[in-house]
Amino acid sequence: MERKNISIRYTIFVYFTVTALAASLLITFSLYQRLSTQVGEMVQEENQSLINQVARSVESYLLTVMKLSDSLYYGAVKNADLSSESINNEITLLYDNNKDNVDNIALFTQSGTMVESVPAARLKSGLDVTRENWFINALEKTENQHFSYPHVQYVFDSNENQYRWVISLSRAVELTEGTSTTQGVLLVDLSYSSLEHLFDGVTTGKGGYVYLISNDGQILYHPKIQLIDSGRMQENNLVAADYKDGNHREEFQGETRIITVKSIGYTGWKIIGVTPKNVVSLNSIKTRLFIVFLITLILFILALINSYISSRITNPIKELEKSVGVLEEGNLETPISIGGSYEIQHLGNSIKNMAKQIRVLMDDIVAEHEAKRKQEFDTLQSQINPHFLYNTLDIIVWMIENEQKAEAVKAVTALARFFRISLSKGKSIITVKDELEHVRNYLMIQQMRFKNKFTYEIDATEECLELASLKLVLQPLVENAIYHGMEFMDGDGEIILKVWKTGDDLYFVVKDNGLGMTADQVAGLFSDQVHVTSKKGSGIGVKNVNERIKLYFGEKYGLTIESEPDEGTVILIHLPAVPYGSMIEKNTFMPGYHG
């Protein structure tokens, strides 16, 4: 019986259907097992990071109010003689600066008499503050500051028709009246809304929430506190008070939850994050990478299967494979074997067109590479502005015509040394000595050109001369000092350049007494806005120098500029203090350097 011809499409369809089915079952099972573990770890890590961030906010809030308490005590109460002076103004000033967080500030004697109150208020009739917990705690533990539970403000009469929730901060203070001192209590009622604000919008995923408890488990903040107070909801806060910092798994009211705990310093408060176990998020980078890995693995397996299948496809495929092998060796001009069924012929034509397209792309890449190299050379050349060279040569010609041969020789020598160091055989890192020599030659030429319109001074410690420096960092800055700081001055210009080493840091200072700049102009030097530079300059701006330093040595290094109009400018250059010789031996220059 004659065997029926089967198309390539049908063969691939059957084999790949079976393979894909088996692979799908394998992927589904493996993915489920892996993601179950991955999601649990991811949720715990994300929750821990979130709770830590909230804890830092709460700690910062508590630190602020405790600093306010210290300022009230040490800045207003402790050094005041209450028998002859009032501290109301000092307390009022501190209250005004913190009234977003503070409702009331009051000072009481040991017997409960109110000495001061800001804003002005009177005690509620019949209230004995000496029986209040915040008062008793402050006098029992005089060295501590004490925070109460949230409560409605009840100490002072209020004209408002609403209840204000506060947290009371109390501490023992020393009161001076004449020659005698007694104990008293400082009370600061903190606005509960300012604490609530720290938790606004904070959740631990869908159905999750964050709440705050005291060290004994009392709820200080809860997004569903009204439901808890009404008995419609319960919280496992008393058990959570015994949890240590970290992630815990608990069963509460038939629901499995992940509990994330972070303690707050000084107060012993705890921030509790609650996340239902069924919350699933696949936004983890690790999960995505794992999925990509699985897909790549499956594709690799399928490629092996495809290779086995292709070996069973008739001779036209083998001939086509040989042609492709020749293409892989780089011979893009080889003829492509086209024969067999429609599918093989179509494939052969596609490979032929692909080879043609590759040749076109390779030609484009070569042309683009050549254009890029030309552009790089043009960019490098453009940094050596011809105006400086033309002006210098004009000076030399003028000196020769006026028979100032010694000065002409001096100028030519300085110019030669200037360009020798500018080129430096293509190196980007040179010694501090060469960098100073480069700028010295530049200053010498410019001083001749401007006919001693300014003076300059270069001072460098001996230990700095053999340290490494980025090339062409001083000359652009000195150039700016001349063209933008002194060109329009009447005379007496002065440029001072100093170099010194402190620890592992190397510093250059370029100081001039020129026209100076405003703060906006200084900020503009580092911005991305287009600056109009002098046509006489090199074109290498301050921003360029700063970015080159950071690129080669890291973000902690760079330029700092201080300038005042009509006062002058001081530029500080910060580099690492690294010996030039050791950098040559290691053949590396710092994290960002690619020299």
For residue 464, give the DSSP letter: G
* Residue percentage of the chain with pLDDT more than 70: 74
CATH number of the 386-586 domain: 3.30.565.10
Diameter of the chain by CA atoms? Answer: 126
Q: What angle do CA 155, 163, 147 make, to 5 degrees?
A: 55
C-alpha 418: how far from chain center: 39
Fold match between domain 78-195 and domain 315-379: no
Look-up of token digits 């830590």: 52
Domain boundaries, the chain: 78-195, 200-276, 315-379, 386-586
Cα 38 to Cα 116, 203, 225, 245, 282: the distances in Å are 59, 20, 33, 22, 9
Residue 534 has pLDDT above 90, yes or no: no
φ, ψ at 437 (rounded to 5°): -65, -40
Asked whether the predicted pLDDT for residue 341 surpasses 80, the reply is: no
Question: What secondary structure, in 3-state letters, does 397-460 show?
Answer: HHHHHCCCHHHHHHHHHHHHHHHHHHHHHHCCEEEHHHHHHHHHHHHHHHHHHCCCCEEEEEEE
Band the pLDDT of 573: cuts 50, 70, 90: very high
**The pLDDT of residue 32:** 65
Q: Which residues pair with 167 in a beta bridge?
A: 190
Q: Give the closest residue to 475 by CA, choosing from 514, 516, 527, 421.
A: 421
C-alpha dist (Å) from residue 93 to 96, 114, 338, 524 = 5, 19, 92, 38
Residue 374's H or E segment, with its range, is: helix 342-382
Enter the pTM of the model.
0.46
The answer to whether 388 touches 476, Cβ cutoff 8 Å, is no
CA distances from 56 to 189, 220, 270, 498 (A): 22, 17, 12, 44
Residues in the chain: 595
Cβ neighbours, 10 Å, residue 102: 21
**Listed range (144-153, 317-326, 383-392, 508-517) with the worst mean pLDDT:** 383-392
Position 334 scores a pLDDT of 73
CATH 3.40.1280.30 fits 200-276, yes or no: no
Dihedral over alpha carbons 573, 579, 582, 583 (to 10 degrees): 20
Percent of the chain residues past pLDDT 90, beyond the cut: 22
Q: What is the pLDDT of residue 372?
A: 60
Q: Are 276 and 207 in contact (CB under 8 A)?
A: yes
* Whole-number average pLDDT of the chain: 79
Identify the CATH number of the domain defined by range 78-195. 3.30.450.20
Residue 188 token pair: 């600061």
Secondary structure, 3-state, 108-140: EECCCCEEEEECCCCECCCCCHHHCHHHHHHHH
Q: Which residue is it, tokens 């919008």?
A: 201
Average pLDDT over every residue of 432-461: 87
Instruction: Reply yes or no on whether the pLDDT at 4 is more than 70.
Output: no
Q: Quick one: pLDDT band at residue 369, thresholds 50, 70, 90?
A: low
Residue 261 has pLDDT above 80, yes or no: yes
The per-residue pLDDT for range 55-95, each reduced to its tens digit, is 999 999 989 999 999 999 998 888 888 888 888 888 899 99
Are 270 and 213 in contact by the 8 Å Cβ rule? The answer is yes
Q: How far apart are the first and last CA of the chain?
A: 74
Tokens 């100490």 belong to 155
| pLDDT(170) > 50 | yes
| Segment holding 349, helix H or strand E | helix 342-382
More confident site: 489 or 283: 489
Q: Tell me, what's the pLDDT at 375?
A: 47
How far, in Å, CA of 537 to CA of 535, rounded? 6
pLDDT at residue 30 tops 70: yes
Which residue do the tokens 């020599």 mark? 437
What contacts 192, CB < 8 A, 6 or more positions away?
150, 164, 165, 166, 167
Least confident among 176-190, 421-435, 512-526, 578-592:
578-592
The full 3-state SS of 297-339, as one line of letters, equals HHHHHHHHHHHHHHCCCCHHHHHHHHHHHHHHCCCCCCCCCCC
Alpha carbon of residue 404 to chain centroid: 58
What is the distance between the alpha carbons of residues 190 and 65, in angstroms, rounded to a whole number?
Answer: 8
Whether the ω angle into residue 150 lies within 30 degrees of 0, i.e. cis, is: no
Q: Which helix (H) or strand (E) holds 176?
A: strand 165-177
Exposed e or buried b for every residue in 504-516, given b needs 16+ CB within 10 A?
eebbbbbbbbbbb
Q: What is the 3-state secondary structure (H, E, C) of 499-510?
A: EEEECCEEEEEE
Domain made up of 315-379: CATH architecture:
Orthogonal Bundle (1.10)
Interatomic CA distance for residues 493 and 516, integer angstroms: 12
CB 256 within 8 A of CB 249: yes
SS3 32: helix
- Identify the residue whose tokens are 């906006």: 520
**Mean pLDDT, residues 127-132:** 90
Q: Provide the pLDDT confidence category of residue 496 given band limits of 50, 70 and 90.
A: very high
The CA distance from 47 to 247, in Å, is 9
Quick one: pLDDT at residue 591?
43
Q: How many CA atoms lie within 13 A of 593 on its CB side?
A: 19
The tokens for 543 are 């921003």
